[in-house]
Structure 1
């Protein structure tokens, strides 16, 4: 299939299915999401995502897998896709540039850091929905799969997980962990993540102990 046709179909499918999905949400919620808003969001954000993904040839529409990824991302996993499209692009454009090489046929949109270095985008990668900073790394594609499996439950699940692990970390730190540190039994009052965690320190355990990260680290591709 010619690249131009793939790009057009990606845009068309994304705009149409995003709009239909949001109209269905409007219907099922008794108009809690107004019809006009559903159409504007579907055509604006869904169409915008389709343009971006189409320009990067993100979906391999010569294969059933590519079509399935596109259909899932614009229906069941649409909240994650639109979240990533909005916030991923707003954040990642400050750290890198869109990469067609890393996006083409891989079912996502990738930003690569614009220069050498360390830190965010280099050795600390992140994925929001289907928009990524830094490339595949070890387990970033696992997060895309998680979003596709959990669909509209994914973002609330992630938020609840971080609230839970942060609360546990704080409670431990200001109680038994703090006491053990004062007695010299521990060198830190807080739980520490393992060395393989991409994030260290106090917030490292908060990050690593969330179910999505435990899942990702357990199934990542080396």
Structure 2
């Protein structure tokens, strides 16, 4: 419960800080409210599912997630809030002391998606792949999301990945496959995760 309260307060403070920079006193108040609206559900989730263990690992990763990797944690909190609004459910057994928040339902039945420390639609067969993304975010902190977005943009407009893509087993023969089979599995964060665990979509 203590970590949940600290997490919520950090989200409120972060929202207030951003709001204050962009809109003075009114912006500060609006930012604090937004921070509460996304930080509250995230705090509830980590308390309800006992996400962070009381051991050194749990405390250390909580600190990392709420300092160096705070931008990723906030993005994950927004992602979690949207899932909860749509009636999706926490996967409490999987989340417990895992230092991540698992949501049962994903954005798409075909894919699991991880943002920050929130992983939606995963299962035991692909969880290690999703955990790589959590590790990447913790390692790179505020650089992670911009680097991922930059790679997506670059590979969309300049598809250099075509040089090493497996055209025989994964042909790019329609528009949607350009993104699903081409851009997506070749961006750096996915390529690393697939190398560690999983087979890229074909």
By how many angstroms is 1:187 displaced? 9.8
Is residue 51–residue 96 contact of structure 2 (8 Å, CA) maintained in 1?
Answer: yes
Tell me whether 86-95 or 38-47 shows the greater mean CA deviation: 86-95
> Which protein has the larger Cα radius of gyration, Structure 1 or Structure 2?
1
Q: Does 1:107 align with 2:83?
A: no
Is residue 99–residue 110 contact of structure 1 (8 Å, CA) maintained in 2?
Answer: yes
TM-score by length of 2: 0.74
Q: Distance in 2 between matches of 1:186 and 1:135?
A: 29
How many residues are treated as equivalent by the alignment?
187
What is aligned with 1:57?
A: 50
By how many angstroms is 1:112 displaced? 2.4
Closer, same or farther in 2 for the Cα pair 1:26/1:98, shift >3 Å? closer
The Cα offsets for residues 141-200 of structure 1, whole Å up to 9 and x where unpaired, read as: 01011111222222221111111111123997xxxxxxxxxxxx9899849xxxxxxxx9
Closer, same or farther in 2 for the Cα pair 1:188/1:110, shift >3 Å? closer
Secondary structure class of the residue paired with 1:216: helix
Which among 54, 75, 78 is matched to residue 70 of structure 2? Answer: 78
Which among 30, 43, 57 is matched to residue 37 of structure 1? Answer: 30
Tell me whether 201-210 or 70-79 shows the greater mean CA deviation: 70-79
Q: Does 1:214 align with 2:174?
A: no
By how many angstroms is 1:63 displaced? 0.9
Q: How does 1:118-133 map to 2 (within 5 A)?
A: 120-121=108-109, 124-133=111-120
Q: Distance in 2 between matches of 1:93 and 1:87?
A: 10
Which among 172, 178, 191 is matched to residue 202 of structure 1? Answer: 178
Which among 132, 135, 157 is matched to residue 123 of structure 2? Answer: 135
Is residue 166–residue 206 contact of structure 1 (8 Å, CA) maintained in 2?
Answer: yes
Q: Does 1:17 align with 2:5?
A: no
Q: Please, which runs of 5 or more residues in structure 1 have no aligned partner?
A: 1-7, 173-184, 192-199
TM-score by length of 1: 0.68
Q: Distance in 1 between matches of 2:41 and 2:84?
A: 16
Is residue 169–residue 190 contact of structure 1 (8 Å, CA) maintained in 2?
Answer: no
Closer, same or farther in 2 for the Cα pair 1:37/1:148, shift >3 Å? farther
By how many angstroms is 1:103 displaced? 0.4
Which among 145, 149, 155 is matched to residue 159 of structure 1? Answer: 149
Secondary structure class of the residue paired with 1:32: helix
Secondary structure class of the residue paired with 1:166: helix
* Structure in which a larger fraction of residues adopt helix: 2
Alignment root-mean-square deviation, CA: 3.7
Closer, same or farther in 2 for the Cα pair 1:171/1:13, shift >3 Å? closer
